[in-house]
Amino acid sequence: MEINDIDIIIEVLDGNTDKFAILIDKYKNKIFKIVSMHVPQDYVEEVANDIFFKSYKSLKTFKNDSPLINWLTVISIRTCKDFWRKKYAQKDMPMSSFSEETEQTIEQGIDYRTPEDNILGEEKYKMLMKAMEYLKPVERTIISMMYAEERSVAEIASITGMTESNVKVTAFRARKKLSEILNTMM
C-alpha cells in the first residue's frame, strides 16, 4: 500500500524529515525531465537539488488544493528562471570570441536529451537548443512547456501566473524570434 503525499508531508512537518526522501524518489524523474528542458545538461542535477531544497524549506506552504507535482512544477519553473537570471547577470561573451574547439564543447553541453529521444536528428536538435539560448527565460519556459512537455495554454498560464492571452502572445513572439535565429544560423 502506497502512502499518499499529504500523509508524508504531515510526517515531515511533524519532525520525521527522513520521510522527505520518499517524495524525492517519487518525483525526481519528473523534476529532472522538467529541469533538463530548461537548463543545460551540466546544471540539471544542481538545479534539481535546489528545487528539492526549496520545496523542503517551503513544504508548510503546500495547500493541498492541487496535486503535489503541480506545486513542485511551479517551484521547478521558478528555479529554472532564477538559474537563467543569474546566468544573464554574468557578463556574456559572443560566440565568435571562442575558438572552434570551445564552441563545439559548448554545443555538446547543450544537448539535453539523447539523439534517440529526439525526432529532429542530432544536428538539428543541437541547433534548436543553441537557438533557444537566445530567447528570454520566460520565452524559453513557455516554448519548452508548450512543445517539449506538451502542456496546454491554460496549464502554462496557471503554472507561470500569466494570463492565457499573455502566454499565447509570448509563445507567438518566441516562435517568431526562434525562427529568425534559426534562419540566421543556417
Mean pLDDT, the chain cut into blocks of 10 residues (186 residues total): 81 90 90 85 89 91 86 89 75 46 44 47 75 82 82 84 89 89 79
pLDDT digits (tens, 9 = 90+) for 135-172: 887 888 888 888 877 888 988 888 778 899 999 999 99
Question: pTM here?
Answer: 0.56
Q: What is the pLDDT of residue 78?
A: 87
Q: What is the pLDDT of residue 103?
A: 47
Where does 1-92 sit in CATH, by number?
Answer: 1.10.1740.10
What's the grid cell of residue 113? 536529451
Q: Are 120 and 128 in contact (CB under 8 A)?
A: yes
Domain ranges, ordered by start, for the chain = 1-92
Three-state DSSP state, 2: coil
Cα three-residue angle 100-97-44, rounded to 5 degrees? 75
- How far is it, in rounded angstroms, from Cα 116 to Cα 102? 25
Q: What is the pLDDT of residue 121?
A: 66
Q: What is the pLDDT of residue 139?
A: 86
Q: What is the pLDDT of residue 95?
A: 45
